[in-house]
Amino acid sequence: MLRYGSRMESNWLFAALIGIVAGFLSGLFGIGGGVVIVPAFVLLLQLDQYRAAATSVATIVVTAAAALITFTVTATGDEQINWAAAVIVFSGSAVGAVVGARYLERIPEYVLTGVFALVMAAGAARMLL
């Protein structure tokens, strides 16, 4: 952490750049931006995987909130947010996040990333075809 801390002052520009790119992707695609933030933290700012993931979700709260507010103000007609669906999915994801934080460390990381890769590949295929 100190190693990172000493690099921080000289790397604030990297941090701002990561934020702008991740924020743009967040607003454009409706994602949090963690897929950009986590690797950028690890590669550019030398954070370890755990701090990178933890700091990434804290970052996402801010950027996704900005995207959400902008979207709510700007969207019209059938572009608008399905709040009922959002509330129900969140009720599941809140439980998933709390339980996951406690127990997921027991599952090997390659299993998690492997499953994640498969789900994304399936999604990509269905959206392209």
Partner 1 sequence: MIEIFGFIVLGLVTGSLAVSLGVGGGIIIVPALVTVFAFGQHEAIGTSLAIIVPTAAVSALAHHRAGRVLWKLAALVGFAGVIGAVAGVNVALAMEPDLLKRLFAVLLAALSIRMALRARRLYVASRSLDGS
Judged by CB under 8 A, the chain residues 36 through 95 that form the site for partner 1 are 37-38, 41, 45, 47, 50-68, 70-72, 74-75, 78-83, 85-86, 88-95
Among 6, 43, 46, 98, binds partner 1 (CB under 8 A): 98
Distance of closest approach, residue 14 Cβ to partner 1, in angstroms: 9
> Does 3 interact with partner 1 (rule: CB under 8 A)?
no
User: Look-up: residue for tokens 């947010």?
Assistant: 81
> Does 112 interact with partner 1 (rule: CB under 8 A)?
yes
Query: What amino acid occupies position 63?
Result: T
Distance of closest approach, residue 10 Cβ to partner 1, in angstroms: 13
Among 6, 8, 43, 46, binds partner 1 (CB under 8 A): 8
CA distance 32 to 19: 11
Yes or no: say if 52 and 41 are a contact pair by the CB < 8 Å rule.
Answer: yes
CA distance 87 to 51: 29
How many chain residues are in contact with partner 1, going by CB under 8 A? 97
Query: What amino acid occupies position 4?
Result: Y
Among 6, 43, 46, 109, binds partner 1 (CB under 8 A): 109
